[in-house]
Amino acid sequence: MACSAALLWIFHGGFATLAFRDPDDAMRLVQIRDWIGGQAFHDISQHRVNPPVGGPMHWSRVVDMPVAGLILLLRPMLGMATAELLACALVPLLLLGGLTAAFFLAARRVANNGIALLGVALLLTAPSIVVQFTPLRIDHHGWQIMLAAVALAGAMDARAARGGIVAALALALWLQISSEALPYAAIFAATFALRHWIARDQTPRFIAFALTLGSAALLLLALLRGTDALVTSQCDAFSAAYLWPLVALAGATGIAARLIGTASATRRLAMAAIGGGTALAIFLATGGPCLSGDPFSMLGPLAYKLWYLHVMEGRPFWEQGASMQGVILLPSLIGLGATLVAARTASGEARMRWLALGLLLAGAIAVSMLVMRALSVAHLFALPGLAWLLLLLFRRVQASRLALLRIFGSVALVTLTPAGLCAIWVTIADQPEPAEKASADCRSATALAPLMALPTTTLLAPIDLGPDILVHSPHSVIGTAHHRNAVGIATVIHAFVDAPDAARKAIDRTRATYLLTCDGLNEGRLYGEANPKGLAAMLARRQVPGWLNPLPGKGPLHIYRIRAGSVPLSSARPL
């Protein structure tokens, strides 16, 4: 509650104008508004993106449900605007409450109440985790972290079968939200299989996990996506390509358990191998392009280079800057080391729980090295080990006879918290760079206010502005930063990067009647650097082609009416 109050106070300045930190949060509200306004449950396309075709999306209604439910509950009493604000501010904090409860339960099962309580304190001060639960952060990242904590609680449950069911249900729901859950499903399955092989009393956990994961994934996909999703493969979201291997895992594991039994370690190993091998064989046979294909390859080379490769949260560890590399790995690796030391000092079942946590953490670290935004889950799994280490060191420091050592040594332990580790590393490794003009103003309601004076139309705007335009105006846009709308993204990028003649041809294939630019927007800077003779570079120099008519106005936003008819394409005039 204290953390939630602090977050509400820190971020309250953006409430009046729904100043979302990330364009995905704005797009999420657009999706919720459309659903409340009558769009079908299974229709998740954005029909104000790239009209008349629409912008296909790969998102899940699971994330929409609590926000939409709270809006519908509050709207009769407070009106739509206030209901939206409260829902967008409170739902992330409710998820944070769920995360702390699930993590406390998991950490208490790993160790004890003291470590669990300290772990919660570390969680609520970990920047990489709390940043995904700030007010107005309504996209799916908080859901992923919370469900990872629920799965961890299941993995540590002393009642093996119940733990397997809980972990499987959490991962099955996570899969509906994002296919990024797939590697975690494999990590949990492998950990449970290993424990099942070592100790027969862990067999119910593995069998319950396999059976529940396959059946729950099948049921949820049919309910949330419709029965067509059961036979349609899409590599960028949970679909038939990934569903049927999980169903095969469930079926083969259940049959093998019946036929082979679990009396010996050899039989248990064979049972797990049959289940996992069948799932892998089905995936190899039916996965198609999902076996090795990149779901972002549909973008085309220019969009891939100028957009996707600059989305650093989706890039691997080795492409990050030095400061971010430390933020990704330092808390995780120290947590892993502490977890293994804790396992060494424990015995019996306690040691096995610490070792299982170490396996899960090692897998999460590997995922975070491949995709930067996965660092939150790795940091979450590192917290029990960090809490154990901090308590151990605190007791030893407090046992000293020297008062200065007790005081300063205790204070110094803050450097081993996730916040302390990240702050110290960033201070050491950060390379000062020339300050660039912030682009946040371009997305604000104030900057976009001039759009309200235009008749409802379609705009060709930078893709990072698209979601906020949809939230703060009735207009449509050609593209947003959502990869399934490959045609719209490519059209926007070509329109800004190409020379004016080619840009006009690209724009003429759309319904856009106005073109937007915004001073200080990094996206515009990238387009200008890609082609100094392109349209974006020309407009930045205030050289306007003859087929664009600039509208008067102040502020960072520049609006140009696209002239119809035959205007000499190569003509340009200074603004």
Non-local (6+) Cβ contacts of 276 within 8 A are: 189, 193, 249
Residue 437 has pLDDT above 60, yes or no: no
Residue 101, number of CB atoms within 10 A of its CB:
15
Among the ranges 196-205, 404-413, 435-444, which has the highest mean pLDDT value?
196-205
Q: What is the mean pLDDT of residues 57-78?
A: 95
Determine the pLDDT at residue 218: 96
Distance CA 77, CA 181 (A): 38
pLDDT, tens digit, for every residue of 256-298?
Answer: 999 998 899 999 999 999 999 999 999 999 888 888 756 666 6
pLDDT at residue 362 greater than cutoff 90: yes
Span 106-135, pLDDT tens digits: 999 999 999 999 999 999 999 999 999 999
Share of the chain above pLDDT 90, in %: 72
Q: What is the pLDDT of residues 222-250, one digit of tens each?
A: 999 999 999 988 888 899 999 999 999 99
Please answer whether residues 524 and 540 qualify as being in contact, where contact means their C-beta atoms are separated by less than 8 angstroms.
Answer: yes
Distance CA 321, CA 327 (A): 10
What is the pLDDT of the chain when averaged over all its residues? 91
Task: Take residue 55 and report the two structure tokens written for it.
Answer: 């912008």
pLDDT digits (tens, 9 = 90+) for 84-109: 999 999 999 999 999 999 999 999 99
pLDDT at site 420: 86
| pLDDT value at residue 432 | 53
The predicted structure's pLDDT at residue 294: 64
Kindly list the distances between the CA atom of residue 3 and the CA atoms of 99, 131, 132, 245, in Å, as whole numbers in the listed order: 13, 12, 13, 41
Contact 185, 213 (CB under 8 A): yes
Q: Which residues contact 188 (CB under 8 A, 6 or more apart)?
A: 151, 155, 167, 171, 209, 360
> Who has greater pLDDT, 288 or 326?
326
**In the predicted model, is pLDDT for residue 397 greater than 80?**
yes
pLDDT of 299? 74
Query: Alpha-carbon distance 445 to 435, whole Å?
Result: 24
Grade residue 322 by pLDDT with cuts at 50, 70 and 90.
Answer: confident
Q: Are strands 458-460 and 476-477 parallel, antiparallel or unpaired?
A: parallel
Residue 434, pLDDT score? 45
At residue 301, the pLDDT reads 83
Residue 213 has pLDDT above 90, yes or no: yes
Residues facing 283 on adjacent strands = none
Distance between CA atoms of residues 480 and 50, nearest Å:
9
The answer to whether residue 490 scores a pLDDT higher than 80 is yes
What is the token pair recorded at 63?
A: 């994330």
| Diameter of the chain measured on Cα atoms | 88
Confidence bin at 571 (pLDDT 50/70/90): very low
Strand, coil or helix: what is 101?
A: helix
Domains and CATH numbers, the chain: 303-432 (no CATH), 440-574 (3.40.50)
pLDDT reported for residue 565: 62
pLDDT of residue 153: 97
Q: Output the pLDDT for position 424.
A: 84
Give backbone dihedrals phi and psi of 252, rounded to 5 degrees, phi first.
Answer: -65, -40
Q: Beta strands 514-518 and 557-562: pairing type?
A: antiparallel
* Residues 459 and 507: beta-carbon distance below 8 Å: no
pLDDT for 423 equals 85
Angle, alpha carbons 148-151-156 (nearest 5°) = 125
C-alpha dihedral sign at 271, 276, 277, 278: positive
Beta-sheet pairing, 572-574 with 543-545: antiparallel
DSSP for 367-385 reads: HHHHSGGGHHHHHHHHHHH
Count of other CB atoms within 10 angstroms of residue 432: 5
Inform me whether the pLDDT recorded for 438 exceeds 50.
Answer: no
Main-chain dihedrals φ then ψ at residue 371, nearest 5 degrees: -135, 115
pLDDT(566) > 70? no
Q: What is the pLDDT of residues 22-48, one digit of tens each?
A: 999 999 999 999 999 999 999 999 999
Whole-number Å distance between alpha carbons of 391 and 408: 15
Band (pLDDT 50/70/90 cuts) for residue 554 is confident
Smallest Cα–Cα separation from 58: which of 48, 46, 40? 46
| Per-residue model confidence (pLDDT) at position 573 | 52
> Contact 164/53 with Cβ under 8 angstroms?
no
Residues 364/375, Cβ–Cβ less than 8 Å? no
**Separation CA 220–CA 27 (nearest Å):** 23
**Among the listed ranges 145-159, 203-217, 423-437, which one has the minimum average pLDDT value?**
423-437
H or E element: which one contains 548? strand 548-550
Coil/strand/helix, residue 458: strand
Alpha-helical runs (H) found in 226-372: 240-260, 265-286, 301-306, 322-345, 348-370
